[in-house]
């Protein structure tokens, strides 16, 4: 069993990261390990910015969004010299393993550290759900619920004024948030990066057709990663073509914050516990993910090479019923 492990959060923060930290710290401490909290991801690791945690260090955080360990980008970590520097810091503090919570970038850092002898376990923390090996990432469910609540509010005013609301949601490379939230809010059209669009046939024609059946207000969900479409220009174009007063709303960082949902808290707790169970057996270089409702682990390099495709059948369902 490893004697001293660390835990860090890296990349974009996601609700539920705190629940994962809590599970790592509690499982580690109860197993007799020394657990160090590393602040601000790989940046804090390089700076030796860490402190010893105990059972009570993680009290009252399970319901909080963000991450009590803070997060940061540290692009220089892609440089092998910096990774070696981090390994030296690990030796200095006696760190033999680290649970790293973040996205694919974070997993790449974890892979590089493991190749140099520090046993790392990656946990998927990102609201975008864009980790190929994982069905549901930590933070995704909360973000979906936040988007749904926000768009429900926008719908009230959209409906009162017979308007069209174009709502831009996060998802630079992936349309999971847009597709699932879009279905949940009954969006007329959903634009995701995985699909190419002709605006006239997909949006304008669809709006005209539904107008004829009495529909007077519209919600259009656009993922931020859809190429060549910015929500403000799209709203202007829709207004020009249909005569329906149209407004754009960019939801922005509100999607990242907030108290984690039940699903994210439970998932993060399971994953954090599982990660330490692996480290107890001296197993590193794994990511802990959920697949078909089971918590499983994969080799980090294999996981990074996996591909995940969006459910186009679900997309078809969305379009069939949003008329």
Number of residues that bind ligand ADP (CB under 6 A): 18
* 109 sits near ligand ADP (criterion: CB under 6 A): yes
**In the block, which residue shows the tokens 């005569």?**
243
Per CB under 6 A, the segment of 8-16, 26-34, 50-58, 229-237 that binds ligand ADP is 8-16
Taking CA 266 as the corner, what is the angle to CA 261 and CA 269, rounded to the nearest 5 degrees? Answer: 125
Locate 168 and state its tokens: 């831009």
Q: For ligand ADP, which residue of 44, 66, 97, 103 counts as binding (CB under 6 A)?
A: 103
Q: How far is the CB of 111 from ligand ADP (least distance, A)?
A: 8
Q: Is 162 a catalytic residue?
A: no
Nearer to ligand ADP, 12 or 175 (CB): 12
Residue, CB closest to ligand ADP = 105
Q: For ligand ADP, which residue of 77, 140, 176, 274 counts as binding (CB under 6 A)?
A: 77
* 171 sits near ligand ADP (criterion: CB under 6 A): no
Q: For ligand ADP, which residue of 64, 108, 215, 263 counts as binding (CB under 6 A)?
A: 108
Nearer to ligand ADP, 96 or 130 (CB): 130
Taking CA 11 as the corner, what is the angle to CA 9 and CA 17, rounded to the nearest 5 degrees? Answer: 40
Q: What is the 3-state secondary structure (H, E, C) of the chain?
A: CCCEEEEEECCCCCCCHHHHHHHHHHHHHHCCCEEEEECCHHHHHHHCCEEEECHHHHCCCCCCCCCCCCCCCCHHHHCHHHHHHHHHHHHHHCCCEEEEEECHHHHHHHHHHHHCCCEEEEEEECCCCCCCCCCCCECHHHHHHHHHHHHHHHHHHHHHCCCEEEEEECCCCCCHHHHHHHHHCCCCEEECCCCCCCHHHHHHHHHHHHHHCCCCCEEEEEECCCCCCCHHHHHHHHHHHHCCCEEEEECHHHHCCCCCCHHHHHHHHHHHHHHHHHHHCCCCCEEEEEECCEEEEEEHHHHHHCCCCCCHHHHHHHHHHCC
* 78 sits near ligand ADP (criterion: CB under 6 A): yes
Nearer to ligand ADP, 18 or 188 (CB): 18
Q: How far is the CB of 86 from ligand ADP (least distance, A)?
A: 10
Per CB under 6 A, the segment of 4-12, 28-36, 57-65, 138-146 that binds ligand ADP is 4-12
- φ, ψ of residue 99 to 5 degrees: the values are -95, 120
Residues 83-102 that bind ligand ADP (CB under 6 A): 102
Binding mask 117-146 vs ligand ADP (x if CB under 6 A, - otherwise)? ---------x--------------------
* 284 sits near ligand ADP (criterion: CB under 6 A): no
Nearer to ligand ADP, 112 or 264 (CB): 112
* 42 sits near ligand ADP (criterion: CB under 6 A): yes
Question: Of residues 104, 128, 264, 297, which has the active-site annotation?
Answer: 128
Report the interface residues with ligand ADP, using CB under 6 A: 10-12, 42, 73-75, 77-78, 102-106, 108-109, 112, 126
Catalytic annotation, residues: 128
């Amino acid at each position: 069993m490893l004697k001293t492990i660390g835990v860090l959060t890296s990349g974009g923060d996601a609700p539920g990261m705190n629940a994962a930290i809590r599970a790592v710290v509690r499982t580690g401490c109860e197993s007799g390990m020394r657990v160090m909290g590393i602040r601000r991801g790989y940046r804090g690791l390089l700076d030796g910015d860490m402190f010893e945690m105990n059972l009570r260090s993680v009290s009252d955080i399970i319901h909080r969004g963000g991450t009590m360990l803070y997060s940061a980008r540290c692009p220089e970590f892609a440089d092998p010299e910096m990774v070696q520097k981090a390994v030296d810091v690990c030796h200095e503090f006696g760190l033999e393993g680290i649970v790293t919570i973040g996205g694919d970038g974070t997993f790449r850092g974890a892979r590089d550290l493991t190749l140099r002898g520090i046993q790392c376990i990656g946990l998927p923390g990102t609201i975008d759900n864009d980790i190929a090996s994982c069905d549901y990432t930590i933070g995704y469910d909360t973000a979906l619920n936040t988007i749904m609540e926000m768009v429900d509010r926008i719908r009230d005013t959209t409906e009162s004024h017979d308007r069209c609301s174009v709502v831009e949601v996060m998802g630079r490379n992936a349309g999971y948030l847009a597709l699932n939230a879009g279905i949940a809010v009954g969006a007329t059209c959903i634009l995701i990066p995985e699909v190419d669009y002709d605006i006239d046939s997909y949006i304008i024609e669809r709006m005209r057709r539904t107008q004829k059946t009495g529909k007077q207000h519209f919600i259009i969900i656009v993922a931020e990663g859809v190429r060549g479409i910015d929500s403000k220009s799209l709203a202007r174009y829709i207004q020009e073509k249909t005569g329906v007063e149209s407004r754009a709303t960019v939801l922005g960082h509100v999607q990242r914050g907030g108290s984690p949902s039940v699903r994210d808290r439970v998932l993060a707790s399971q994953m954090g516990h599982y990660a330490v169970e692996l480290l107890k057996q001296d197993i590193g270089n794994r990511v802990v993910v959920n697949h078909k409702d089971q918590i499983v682990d994969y080799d980090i390099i294999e996981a990074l090479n996996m591909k995940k495709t969006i459910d186009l059948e679900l997309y078809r369902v969305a379009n069939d019923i949003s008329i």
